[in-house]
Structure formats: C-alpha cells, structure tokens
Amino acid sequence: MDSRSSEPVARIPLPSSATTGLKIVIVGGFGVGKTTMVKSVSEIRPLSTEETMTRAGVGIDDARGVEAKSTTTVAFDFGRISLNEELVLYLFGAPGQERFWFLWDRLFTGTLGAVVLVDTRRLADSWYAIDRLEHHGMPFIVAHNQFGESTHSLDQIRDALDLAHDVPLIACDARQRESSKAVLITLVNHLYALSSARQVTS
Amino acid sequence: MSPRLEDENPDRLYMVTGGRSSVTDDALDMVTLIVSECEPTPGMQSEHARILRLCRSPTAVVEIAAELRMPVSVVCILLCDLLDTGRVTARKPRPAPAETRLPDPEILKQVLVGLQKL
C-alpha cells in the first residue's frame, strides 16, 4: 500500500561529498507493492511528498463517481540509496493511473529507467503505464510481484501484457531486500546494454 | 489558488511563495542536491531558515519537500529565492544525452557496483 509516512524520523544526512542525485521510478497500480519495494532497499524510511497539477483536462479517474478536477494533488513515496561517496540513487514509487501522468513528466526528466511492478490480480492496471513508457522512449523492465506465490508463468504474463521480447521480465518478492535489489540490478544491466549498444552504433 | 493539500492551509502556501504559483526557471530537478552557503539570519522567512538548516548537508529537493511537508512545486519557488541570492547552491544531476535518453555507461557501472554492495 502507499502509506503516508507522517511520523517524525531522524534524518540521515548525505555526506558532504555527495554531488549527483539519480532517479529510478517504480510504477504500478495501487497496492501492487511499490512502497514495499522502495522500503526494502532504501537506507531511509520511505518519505512521502506531494505534487500538484493545476492544469485542466486530465484523464478519467479510475475511482468511479469521482469527476476529474482541474486541480489534483498526488502523494508519492520515495526512498534513497547512497551508491558511493558521490552518487545517490532516489527510488520513486509512482502511481500508474492515467490521471497521474502529469507527475511523470517531472519525474521522468533525467530518470535512469523504470520498473513496472505488476501483480496478476490486476494486470490491466499496467497496460497504460507500459504504453506510456514506450511512447516516451523510457527504458524499463517489468517485475512480477508474487508475494511469495506463483500462479502464472512469466511467459503467460508476457503474453497478457503484450510485452516485447527485449524487455526484461522477472519475478520478485518486493518484501525481500535481496529480491528488490535483483530487480534494480536487472534494470541497470538492461540500461547498460542499451546504452553501450547506442554508443557503439552512434 | 485552489485548495491543494488536505492538511494544509492554502493561504499559508500562498503567503510563503509571495503569491507565485510557478517557477519559470526549470533548473531544479526533484533530485537536485541543494547545499546551504550560509546560516539562517534573524528575520528571515521561516521556511527559508528551515531550508538553510536542512541543507547544511546536501539534500535533494524532494527530501526538502517531504521535510517541510509542502508540494515540490512550492519548494522549488522557495529554493529559487535562495538560489538567486546565493544563500544555497544546487548540485545538478548530470544531464543524459538528450537524443537517446540513455544514461552514460560509466555512471551505470558505478550504479551497478553500488547496488551490488547493498
């Protein structure tokens, strides 16, 4: 769940040598485990903050009966991993519904890549997110959060998502640090392969 | 301005930003690290003073927003005031090559090493 972190927490400051903030976005529907994944690898307790959109003309809200408003506020959670003395990686859990995409424009600028977190109960929630990522040319991988049990094969999920074969798809348990870590490493390896290939061809 | 935050008084957000609702300067990313260049002074707007205290060590824009419990867009306006007067400096993320949107392989190597050490 995307719980708000409202209790005071002792801040863990970054070293003064920190120079560069990097971003990875974890996107998925409500309750799919975004914040759980952030929490399992973050060195700080996930923090929550808000962004607002004031422009009109947002997409249809998934919550039935709630009309799209001209002003929308969305809370999103994030965590932090100090990679070395200079590089700091921020992980953002972003809601994938259509009405939240205003947030993405801002999040995506300079983002390394994205993890689409899916669960098989609500696979359809991911279609829009995957479509938009492809449209933006944002590299991503898909992680199936199994919560410890597997009822669908990855091939079945790939078919259901109509996912291109060059997009990595892996199973994970977002509660487990090692598993979430493996998801991030899979993404960065994918980015590295894409980036190296690009350098060779250009 | 329309009400934005369930637990926030919109009037206060209006006041702290001096009525501005957007920043023309797009220079601040959510993960831009902000560093104080001076200590708060008496009479300084309290939000500015809080930012200066927070940023004694490098602090990302999004962390400042979470600590101040304000929307990122409002924090960006406050930060622009402080940047304009040299009271904070920004350590900007390295821009990815615009045409590919793919990060530098050297940076990615460092990210991998960092993640593997987790």
Q: How confident is the model at residue A8 (pLDDT cuts 50, 70, 90)?
A: very low
Q: Which residue has the higher pLDDT, B74 or A4?
A: B74
CB pairs under 8 A between A and B: 154
The model's pLDDT over A19-55, given as tens digits with 9 standing for 90+, comes to 999 999 999 888 899 999 999 999 999 998 887 765 5
The confidence score (pLDDT) of residue B28 equals 86
The model's pLDDT over B7-52, given as tens digits with 9 standing for 90+, comes to 556 666 666 677 666 554 456 889 999 999 999 999 999 999 999 9
The confidence score (pLDDT) of residue A11 equals 79
The confidence score (pLDDT) of residue A90 equals 96
Q: How many beta carbons lie within 10 A of that of residue A74, not counting itself?
A: 18
Q: Would you call B91 an interface residue with chain A, using a CB distance cutoff of 8 Å?
A: yes
> In the predicted model, is pLDDT for residue A3 greater than 60?
no
Residues of chain A contacting residue B105, judged by C-beta atoms under 8 Å apart: 192, 195-196, 199
The confidence score (pLDDT) of residue A148 equals 59
> In the predicted model, is pLDDT for residue B78 greater than 80?
yes
Q: Would you call A143 an interface residue with chain B, using a CB distance cutoff of 8 Å?
A: no
Torsion of CA A162, A134, B100, A57, to 10 degrees: 180
* B5-117 CATH fold: Outer Surface Protein A; domain 3 (3.90.930)
In single-letter form, the type of residue at position A31 comes to G
Q: How confident is the model at residue A185 (pLDDT cuts 50, 70, 90)?
A: very high
> In the predicted model, is pLDDT for residue B3 greater than 70?
no
Report CA torsion sign: B24, B26, B27, B32: positive
Scan for tokens 């040299």, then name that residue: B86
> Does the beta-carbon distance from B30 to A188 stay under 8 Å?
no
Any idea which of A29-33, A45-49, A151-155, B92-96 has the lowest mean pLDDT?
A: B92-96
> In the predicted model, is pLDDT for residue A89 greater than 80?
yes
Residues above pLDDT 70, as percent of chain B: 70
Q: Would you call A70 an interface residue with chain B, using a CB distance cutoff of 8 Å?
A: yes
In single-letter form, the type of residue at position B110 comes to Q
The confidence score (pLDDT) of residue A198 equals 76
Taking the C-alpha atoms of residue A31 and residue A28, their distance in angstroms, rounded to an integer, is 8
Where do the structural domains in chain B lie, given as residue ranges?
Answer: 5-117
The confidence score (pLDDT) of residue B97 equals 52
State ipTM: 0.83
In single-letter form, the type of residue at position A41 comes to V
List the one residue out of B68, B93, B55 whose CA is nearest residue A48: B68
The confidence score (pLDDT) of residue A76 equals 86
Residues of chain A contacting residue B31, judged by C-beta atoms under 8 Å apart: 21-23, 88, 90, 110
Residues above pLDDT 70, as percent of chain A: 80
Q: Which residue has the higher pLDDT, B109 or B103?
A: B109
Mean pLDDT over A162-186 rounds to 96
